[in-house]
Structure 1
């Protein structure tokens, strides 16, 4: 599912896994990442980021939530706050789908809100493969393909994306859980060879569902 819930560990697992909602409920999540990377690009000047959010999921497939993270783009932005709403489910044949809207908002100094934007997204998945298309109202569209699978309690996944023909990115990683604490190691890279924020990097995440 494209939403940024950390109960899916990190973004690559969210890209590779479509979630079938099985019961109604509210859940929360907190996490610390060694670097908050979004579509291959550092959102925190390569420094650690504290993150967390809350989700509501209904048995029908409807969901809504909020998610926040510490960010640093070198300007006024110090906090990202996302609000999203959507519908996700899985057919009897094993095809999963997810459609929704997410509003990215930024807070800090007086000009932080200038970075706000909205995306509409549509995703589908089958047999571990996934495809997600996001339509942006400000910074362009994104298309991402992924594949993920589980083996002996460990999730392994990879994804490749193209963000508005401005850059491409890819990631591969592993994640799991030990005594209720989620962990994730992911490698990210882009074709932005002249921008250090898009250089290849290994990201470590620890998380906890509430």
Structure 2
């Protein structure tokens, strides 16, 4: 693709500057151009988020007033022995039927030029109804198939808590054999997050878990940091 050399040049140029996140923006007629070392967008109402795995990364995003967008994001340039180059190319369409009803659809193609690994892709969609957001993503990676559903229900009446939920299903092409000889062909996982601001501090209570447990947890490779049921309390406050 013609954009690949341009993207790599942009990422390399920005890497010579401050490595902190940067995002430059410019309007070109009916189009908006953004590029830099910080991802320009998230997809499917925040469900699909570009990752960064190297000290040198960058991307380019082009969107039109009609709702169509296209871009490339390179989370890793593969400049160290422990990393490899990855190029994520995406395109999608985002628009609104009314002020309170909007939608988004798109696809991402993941390319790994330095590896023998096959390319993969992910299809995603999002829906906004009033203050509620829903997202869905379906990926076809080498050796596995993953699907994820996301819901941001906004703030609950009376309690003033924000509620977010995520459910995933993961199917393995080749069963994972654990120590006792049994096989894991697939599993599900989930998380529920309650959020509330209190005296300038953002409080998050997160419960996560999966359908695996005990010895079968060694086969876990889902969206949570742990296979077992986990309850986590986070407190964040901006210093500036």
Q: Which interval holds the TM-score relative to the shorter structure? A: 0.5 to 0.7
Q: Report the counterpart of residue 199 of structure 1 in structure 2.
A: 225
Partner of 2:188: 167
* Structure-1 separation of matches of 2:60 and 2:207: 26
Aligned match of 2:132: 129
Q: Could you list the per-position Cα deviations for residues 101-145 of structure 1 after superposition, in whole angstroms to 9, with x for gaps in the alignment?
A: 11012243x42x33x211222221223322223333443241322
Task: Return the structure number with greater relative CO, CA threshold 8 A, min gap 6.
Answer: 1
Structure 1 counterpart SS, 2:137? strand
Q: Secondary structure at the match of 1:166?
A: strand
Deviations, residues 45-89 of structure 1 (Å, cap 9, x unaligned): xx87654321111000000011121399xx986232210111101
Residue 69 (structure 2) aligns with:
63
Aligned partners of 1:29, 1:146: CA distance in 2, in Å?
Answer: 29
Cα gap change, 1:148 to 1:141, in 2 (>3 Å): same
Superposition TM-score, scaled by structure 2 size: 0.47
Q: Assess if the C-alpha contact under 8 Å between 2:93 and 2:106 holds in 1.
A: yes
- Give the count of matched residue pairs: 151
Separation (CA, whole Å) in 2 of partners of 1:99 and 1:122: 4
- Distance in 2 of aligned mates of 1:134 and 1:98: 12
Q: Among residues 80, 91, 96, which one is paired with 1:90 in the alignment?
A: 96
2: distance between equivalents of 1:118 and 1:162? 17
- Find 2:164's aligned residue among 138, 158, 165: 158
Distance 1:54 1:136, change over 3 A: same
State the distance in 2 between where 1:158 and 1:93 align. 22
What's the secondary structure of 1:140's corresponding residue? strand
Instruction: Answer yes or no: is the 8 Å Cα contact 1:145–1:159 preserved in 2.
Output: yes
Matched, 1:143 2:169: no
SS of 1:121's equivalent in the other structure is strand
- Aligned pairs for 1:109-124 within 5 A: 110-111=115-116, 113-114=117-118, 116-124=119-127
Determine the C-alpha separation between the residues in 2 that align with 1:160 and 1:28: 30
Query: Gaps spanning 5+ residues in structure 1: where?
Result: 1-22, 33-38, 151-155, 175-184, 205-210
Q: Which residue pairs with 1:26 in the alignment?
A: 33
CA spacing shift, 1:107–1:171, aligned 2, 3 Å: farther
Between structures 1 and 2, the one with greater strand share: 1
Contact 1:121–1:133 under 8 Å retained in 2: yes
Give the greater-gyration-radius structure (CA).
Answer: 2
CA distance in 2, matches of 1:145, 1:27: 27
Aligned partners of 1:173 and 1:79: how far apart in 2?
Answer: 36
